[in-house]
């Protein structure tokens, strides 16, 4: 089996979907599978450092002037409109340049399967067709909107633009038919399956996009190590500080739980605003912002916490939920999107996003319950670890993706 993984970007530091190509590439190379990675050059220093033995296996798409222009323009638009317009043009530019490299690899290295794991959105078009090799796309995860009670978080202009883009997407996929011609399409859930473009010819297989390296996120080692002992009952948030993460609701919930403190690991555009919000509520002494930390430094903070909190209102995946579960730590999250696919009441708390007050109150009640019942933390944590071992271990996912590659190769053209 000879595999080429092609992605818009690949990075452990970027987080989110950017880590998925690296998990597949590293997992396959660890098993001595002949694998190449084609990716944008923006992460070249990181990748050459992380994979010193595989420099000859990585091909970079160099930054074009068009990329730089689109990046400047993207800063003037709302996030979702920027992703669906400027972001789409930028990714299509990368895919166009990457397609040339992939076709050369297929011809020169006898590639059997081309795998495009990101972008995870089922509506984004793919240029990976006519390559001379079988094509696998995904796992995709999308087809989401904000909860009804939070639709006002987006402007009417944004909602209309997104709806229009969705209606036009089938025309785009007819013009750029990578997804409609792929041998296999991987989807994380039924919601994503329903969001696939019309005219798909290949087989659709359900496979969760996220997973966990169990040796990195251990439930039994290093609990509380390398971090200061919490002054109060600690809760942790890990993720980008962007508006849809809803961290302000967790901060407000904490204001109703005087026995608790919150450590915020991550950085982003909303950091200053949320720091001011904590100050306004008079609890800045109980909220600590650490900035971005590598995974190895996040784990001890999780181990010293009663729970991970994730009040996101637009979370298609949520790998951090699985990382907390693997660490034996319960999760308090909104019952929306990815967290609802991973969690159940045996290993955490899911709060219905029926209103802002419902989310704040639900998170506060879950915090109080964990503080009042210390043994509950370990019970929920053990169940979470067990669930991850059974369903979300990256080693098992690599087993599964190899089976999928074999199926793709066996699929008649």
| C-alpha 38 chain-centroid distance | 20
Residue 342: enclosing H or E segment and its boundaries?
helix 338-342
* pLDDT tens-digit readout, 371-387: 999 899 999 999 999 99
**356 C-beta neighbours (distance < 10 Å), count:** 17
Q: Read out DSSP for 207-272?
A: --S--B-TTTS-SSS-TTTTSPPPSSEEEEEES---GGG-HHHHHHHHHT-TTEEEEEEB--TTHH
Query: Is residue 110 left, alpha or beta, with left meaning phi > 0 and alpha meaning psi from -120 to 50?
Result: left
Token digits of residue 404: 């999928």
Token digits of residue 45: 């220093």
Separation between Cα atoms, residue 254 and residue 357, nearest integer Å:
13
**55 C-beta neighbours (distance < 10 Å), count:** 9
Residues with Cβ within 8 Å of residue 58, at least 6 apart in sequence: 36, 37, 38, 39, 47, 48, 51
From first to last of its 413 residues, the chain has per-residue pLDDT tens of: 899 999 988 998 877 789 999 999 999 999 999 999 999 998 999 999 999 999 999 999 987 766 666 666 666 556 555 565 666 777 888 899 999 999 999 999 999 999 999 999 898 899 999 999 999 999 999 888 888 888 777 666 566 666 666 666 777 888 889 999 999 999 999 999 999 998 899 999 999 888 888 877 776 654 444 566 777 899 999 998 998 899 999 999 999 999 999 999 999 989 999 999 999 999 999 999 999 888 778 888 888 999 999 999 988 888 899 999 999 999 999 999 889 889 988 999 999 999 999 999 999 999 999 999 989 999 999 999 999 998 999 999 999 999 999 999 998 76
Separation between Cα atoms, residue 272 and residue 303, nearest integer Å:
27
- Give me the residue label for tokens 């181990």: 303
**CATH fold match for the domains 2-211+393-410 and 233-391:** yes
Based on the number of CB atoms within 10 Å of its own CB, is 312 exposed (0-12), middle (13-18) or buried (19 or more)? Answer: buried
Domain residue ranges of the chain, discontinuous segments joined by +: 2-211+393-410, 233-391
Separation between Cα atoms, residue 209 and residue 337, nearest integer Å:
13
Q: Look up the CATH superfamily of 2-211+393-410.
A: Glycogen Phosphorylase B; (3.40.50.2000)
* pLDDT tens-digit readout, 278-289: 999 999 999 999
Separation between Cα atoms, residue 233 and residue 319, nearest integer Å:
24
Q: Look up the CATH superfamily of 233-391.
A: Glycogen Phosphorylase B; (3.40.50.2000)
């Amino acid at each position: 089996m000879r595999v080429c993984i092609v992605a818009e970007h690949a990075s452990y530091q970027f987080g989110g979907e950017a880590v998925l190509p690296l998990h597949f590439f590293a997992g396959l190379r660890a098993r001595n599978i002949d694998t190449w990675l084609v990716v944008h050059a923006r992460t070249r220093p990181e990748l050459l450092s992380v994979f010193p033995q595989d420099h000859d296996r990585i091909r970079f798409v160099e930054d074009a002037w068009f990329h730089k222009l689109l990046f400047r323009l993207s800063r003037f638009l709302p996030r979702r409109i920027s992703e669906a317009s400027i972001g789409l043009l930028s990714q299509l530019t990368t895919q166009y340049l990457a397609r040339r490299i992939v076709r050369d690899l297929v011809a020169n290295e006898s590639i059997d399967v081309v795998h495009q794991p990101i972008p995870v959105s089922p509506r984004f078009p793919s240029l990976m067709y006519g390559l001379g090799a079988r094509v696998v796309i995904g796992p995709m995860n999308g087809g989401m909107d904000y909860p009804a009670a939070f639709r006002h978080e987006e402007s009417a202009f944004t909602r209309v633009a997104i709806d229009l883009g969705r209606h036009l997407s089938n025309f785009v996929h007819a013009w750029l038919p990578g997804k409609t011609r792929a041998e296999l399409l991987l989807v994380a859930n039924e919601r994503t399956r329903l969001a696939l473009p019309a005219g798909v010819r290949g087989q659709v297989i359900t496979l969760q996009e996220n997973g966990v390296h169990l040796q990195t996120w251990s439930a039994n080692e290093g609990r509380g190590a390398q971090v200061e002992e919490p002054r109060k009952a600690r809760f942790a948030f890990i993720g980008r500080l962007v508006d849809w993460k809803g961290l302000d609701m967790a901060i407000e919930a904490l204001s109703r739980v005087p026995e608790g403190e919150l450590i915020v690991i991550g950085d982003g555009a909303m950091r200053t605003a949320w720091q001011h919000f904590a100050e306004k509520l008079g609890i800045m002494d109980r909220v600590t912002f650490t900035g971005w930390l590598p995974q190895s430094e996040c784990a001890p903070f999780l181990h010293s916490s009663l729970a991970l909190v994730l009040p996101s209102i637009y979370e298609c995946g949520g790998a951090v939920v699985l990382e907390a579960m693997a660490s034996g730590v319960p999760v308090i999250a909104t019952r929306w999107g990815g967290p609802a696919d991973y969690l159940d009441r045996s290993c955490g708390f899911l709060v219905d996003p029926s209103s802002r007050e419902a989310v704040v109150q639900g998170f506060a009640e879950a915090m109080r319950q964990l503080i009042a019942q210390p043994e509950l933390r370990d019970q929920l944590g053990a169940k979470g670890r067990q669930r991850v071992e059974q369903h979300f271990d990256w080693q098992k996912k690599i087993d599964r993706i190899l089976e999928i590659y074999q199926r793709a190769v066996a699929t008649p053209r």
